[in-house]
Structure 1
């Protein structure tokens, strides 16, 4: 994938790009704004070091060179973040660890446009997996509208990205999108 991807969202200038050093502050702000997601996913708000840990956290057995991070920028402001690992858990699969949008950017078609643009550029992908916090209706609805199938609830102690669920975490639902062979 190129370093910058323009995404078609009517009336807005949206780009998806690799993060750089200047993004640390805006990503910290994004994580603070998305406390609702962190609490739903882990039972706890975002913690110190969560932004930095994004750059090296991997699921067990994943190739470090297969990790990709993408900043979603809307009209010049950091509006979201996508964390994914190619060819995990098997060749042709993509494991999405985090697809996060700021509350002010949700419900406008931005997430769908970004997901579809990334999928269109990900040649050879036959399966995408993600997790959704149990009861997080907006997340469940989002993945279902994209064509994912939600599986049963996993154990409350399951990891979310590189974090373990907190004492009030309610578990996760795995979402799977199966795609036909791509060229």
Structure 2
């Protein structure tokens, strides 16, 4: 993926995550404790950054996995997008995690990045974007609604595939949201 720039909330760059981003992503995970507590009941652990590389649904290949860093300035990580292209079918992509640092929230960064990535997905022929979110995490569900996603019911079964990954036992009440992408975008 080429780097893209979004001017909302100050300039940010979205690019493939690099090994040198791991420390910044680790700080992002700590800052986004509200998300992790809502999703799993506990804060993120240092190993959660490494697990990003391996979190993949059984039916997908590692070549479909994209970890995107959202950066301000040179390499100041203020967000992360975990997506699996062409999953669960060739006309869809699935987003497992879309995080924005608390200090960058409500400035248009997340919405600007999401809209740009949705346009890119449409340009590559994808017609559906799926996302997961803890059902009781209003910042996430409100964000998805603001982008036009239809919110589905919460899934309770541990081990079930939700979005772009298989849920582990600590994740309860995750929901799947669906956005139909217009063909003329």
- What is the CA–CA distance in structure 1 between the aligned matches of 2:137 and 2:58, rounded to whole Å? 25
- Which residue of the partner structure matches residue 154 of structure 1? 155
What is the aligned-residue RMSD (CA, Å)? 1.8
CA contact (8 A) 1:127 1:177 kept: yes
SS of the aligned residue for 2:98 comes to: strand
- What is the CA–CA distance in structure 1 between the aligned matches of 2:80 and 2:157, rounded to whole Å? 24
- What is the CA–CA distance in structure 2 between the aligned matches of 1:130 and 1:165, rounded to whole Å? 19
CA contact (8 A) 2:13 2:70 kept: yes
- What is the CA–CA distance in structure 2 between the aligned matches of 1:102 and 1:159, rounded to whole Å? 26
Q: State the number of aligned residues.
A: 179
Instruction: Could you list the structure 1 runs, at least 4 aligned residues long, displaced by more than 6 angstroms after superposition.
Output: none
- Which residue of the partner structure matches residue 27 of structure 1? 25
Query: 1:182 offset after TM fit, Å?
Result: 5.3
- Whether 2:29 is the aligned partner of 1:16: answer no
- Which residue of the partner structure matches residue 176 of structure 2? 174
SS of the aligned residue for 1:46 comes to: coil
Query: 1:22 offset after TM fit, Å?
Result: 1.4
- What is the CA–CA distance in structure 1 between the aligned matches of 2:180 and 2:161, rounded to whole Å? 23
Q: 1:66 aligns with which of 64, 67, 77?
A: 64
- What is the CA–CA distance in structure 2 between the aligned matches of 1:159 and 1:30, rounded to whole Å? 25
CA contact (8 A) 2:155 2:172 kept: no
- Which residue of the partner structure matches residue 90 of structure 1? 89
Unaligned stretches of 5+ in structure 2? none
SS of the aligned residue for 2:178 comes to: strand
- What is the CA–CA distance in structure 2 between the aligned matches of 1:17 and 1:162, rounded to whole Å? 25
- Which residue of the partner structure matches residue 38 of structure 2? 40
- What is the CA–CA distance in structure 2 between the aligned matches of 1:34 and 1:156, rounded to whole Å? 25
Sort the Cα spacing of 1:96 and 1:154 in 2 relative to 1 into closer, same or farther, 3 A.
Answer: same
- Which residue of the partner structure matches residue 79 of structure 1? 78
Sort the Cα spacing of 1:56 and 1:27 in 2 relative to 1 into closer, same or farther, 3 A.
Answer: same
- What is the CA–CA distance in structure 1 between the aligned matches of 2:14 and 2:166, rounded to whole Å? 22
TM-score normalized with structure 2 length? 0.89
Query: 1:105 offset after TM fit, Å?
Result: 1.1
- Which residue of the partner structure matches residue 110 of structure 2? 111
Query: 1:159 offset after TM fit, Å?
Result: 6.5
Query: 1:162 offset after TM fit, Å?
Result: 5.8
- What is the CA–CA distance in structure 1 between the aligned matches of 2:18 and 2:139, rounded to whole Å? 29
Sort the Cα spacing of 1:159 and 1:106 in 2 relative to 1 into closer, same or farther, 3 A.
Answer: farther
Q: CA offsets per residue over residues 79-130 of structure 1, 9 Å max, x none?
A: 0100100110001100001101111111111100000111112221100111
